């Protein structure tokens, strides 16, 4: 029987089958990463941002609430930064970058809020209208897929799915497109309805959306079936190495570099 895959595991296989083997078959631990920690913090802040009480009634209140959440979540995860053996000055620089990322996101959210208020909604109704379903888990029995979707906007018959990205990329790569296609498969199975749009919120830049069509859905379906067929075995020799720039770079290396190239 095929193992339950995720968008992350499938893209890992496409990146390097041997890396997939070490992470998902042998289940070797991955090394802590500043980028993973920051990403987790940002996702947590954006998930909790919309859980506000009735005392928040102005844009300034929202801004204070957002950065209070950042400080709180940063402190809660501070021990993970210490495990990286990183200098305090470096941690502070990453905090500043993270705050800048959230400031850019808030600037775009603020414009949407103003548009809703101009259309006649009250502050609270406008905020509610812009509040997505957050961090919802989907499990597909038909496709043996599992994953969390960052944000789902369901307004009348229109459904938009967004995934947050904190990096420097500004366009939807083939890997991102595949991830979004898998979200379509999972959402459609769970609800009986295909989303209208899927996209990436590049938090440092802007949102990019793709209209959902048969091509996107079929591309994802084909890749999922292919990866399932290739990952039934537990024989390491069936998972080839794919040497390239992602094995080792100027500031780091793959978590499993030493296992692959120890000789």
* DSSP-derived secondary structure letter, 21: I
Beta carbons of 148 and 46 less than 8 angstroms apart: no
Q: Where are the domains positioned within the chain?
A: 34-129, 133-231
Sign of CA dihedral 164, 167, 169, 175: negative
CATH 3.40.50.150 fits 133-231, yes or no: no
Exposure string over 180-190, b if 16+ CB within 10 A, otherwise e: bbbbbbbbbee
**For residue 68, with 0-12 CB atoms within 10 Å meaning exposed, 13-18 middle and 19 or more buried, which class applies?**
exposed
What per-residue confidence (pLDDT) applies to 263? 61
Q: How far apart are CA 1 and CA 5, in angstroms?
A: 12
Exposure string over 19-52, b if 16+ CB within 10 A, otherwise e: bbbbbbbeeeeeeeeeeebbbebbbbbbbbbeeb
Counting every residue written for the chain, the total comes to 263
Angle between helices 214-230 and 174-191 (to 10 degrees): 100
- Mark the ranges of the chain whose per-residue pLDDT is less than 70: 1, 263
What per-residue confidence (pLDDT) applies to 70? 98
Sign of CA dihedral 109, 111, 115, 118: positive
Cα 50 to its chain centre, rounded Å, is 18
Q: Which two tokens stand for residue 216?
A: 């996107």
Q: Partners of 154 in the beta sheet?
A: 159
What per-residue confidence (pLDDT) applies to 235? 96
What per-residue confidence (pLDDT) applies to 1? 56
Q: Which two tokens stand for residue 93?
A: 């620089």
What per-residue confidence (pLDDT) applies to 101? 97
Q: Considering the chain, what is the average pLDDT of its residues?
A: 94
| Number of other CB atoms surrounding residue 244 within 10 Å | 10
What per-residue confidence (pLDDT) applies to 167? 87
Answer whether 0.85 is exceeded by the pTM. yes
């Amino acid at each position: 029987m095929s193992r339950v895959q995720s968008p992350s595991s499938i893209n890992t296989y496409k990146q390097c089958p041997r890396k997939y083997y070490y992470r998902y078959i042998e289940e070797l631990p991955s090394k802590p990463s500043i980028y993973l920690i920051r990403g987790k913090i940002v996702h947590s802040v954006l998930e909790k941002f919309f859980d506000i009480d009735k005392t928040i009634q102005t844009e300034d209140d929202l801004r204070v609430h957002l950065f209070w959440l950042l400080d709180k979540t940063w402190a809660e995860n501070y021990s993970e930064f210490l495990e990286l053996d990183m200098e305090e000055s470096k941690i502070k620089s990453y905090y500043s970058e993270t705050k800048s990322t959230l400031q850019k996101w808030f600037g775009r959210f603020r414009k949407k809020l103003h548009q809703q208020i101009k259309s006649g909604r009250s502050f609270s109704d406008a905020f509610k209208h812009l509040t997505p379903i957050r961090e919802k888990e989907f499990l597909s029995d038909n496709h043996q897929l599992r994953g969390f979707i960052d944000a789902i906007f369901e307004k009348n018959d229109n459904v938009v799915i967004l995934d947050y990205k904190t990096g420097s990329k500004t366009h939807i790569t083939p890997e991102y497109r595949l991830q979004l296609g898998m979200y379509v498969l999972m959402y459609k199975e769970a609800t009986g309805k295909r989303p209208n749009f899927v996209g990436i919120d590049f938090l440092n830049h802007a949102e990019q959306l793709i209209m959902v069509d048969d091509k996107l859905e079929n591309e994802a379906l084909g890749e999922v079936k292919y990866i399932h067929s290739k990952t039934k075995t537990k024989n390491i020799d069936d998972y080839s190495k794919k040497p390239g720039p992602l094995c080792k770079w100027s500031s780091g290396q793959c978590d499993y570099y030493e296992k692959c190239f120890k000789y």
